[in-house]
Amino acid sequence: MVSTLSPMASKKYRAVMLIDDNEIDNLINQKMIEASAITENIYTHTGAKSAIEFLKNMEKMDVADKVLPDVIFLDIDMPLMDGFQFLDEFGTLSEVTRKKSRIIMLTSSINPQDFNRAKKYDNVKLYLNKPLSHENIMKIDV
């Protein structure tokens, strides 16, 4: 289910992850998240495959609860593994990971089919268009 933005998100996340093949988008979004001070740690990945491998490796460690991201910002249109393929793989991860890490689709796609497809994934809590704005970051409540 995709939620809407709430007026207040004073919640602070321990870690967030950015997954986008565009390094400039990652940098801009990272700077926006840092400026909003909603998290202590930001993991960035320029590919969905490396992000899945990172999550799988974290599951193998006893500290997964402390290391896994609370929020994953996921782009749709990426080479090798797109956002929807990432979501399919994410669905095979442990229950701990699936409950801990909530996903926000962060994309430049304005295709209604992408939005409707994203809604079919239980782990997708929000669908936002790039770039991240300070206002949107402060309203996130997932």
What residue spans define the domains of the chain? 16-110
- Asked whether 142 and 3 are in contact (CB, 8 A), the reply is yes
Under 8 Å CB-to-CB from 95, ≥6 apart: which residues?
none
Backbone angles phi and psi of 36, in degrees to 5: -85, -15
Block mean pLDDT (10 aa), the chain, length 142: 45 90 96 93 97 93 83 96 98 94 94 95 94 90 84
CATH code assigned to 16-110? 3.40.50.2300
pLDDT of residue 131: 86
Torsion of CA 106, 95, 16, 48, to 10 degrees: -50
Write down the pLDDT at residue 11. 54
In this structure, the number of other CB atoms found within 10 A of the CB of residue 77 comes to: 15
Q: In what order do the strands lie in the sheet with 124-129?
A: 39-45, 13-19, 71-74, 102-107, 124-129
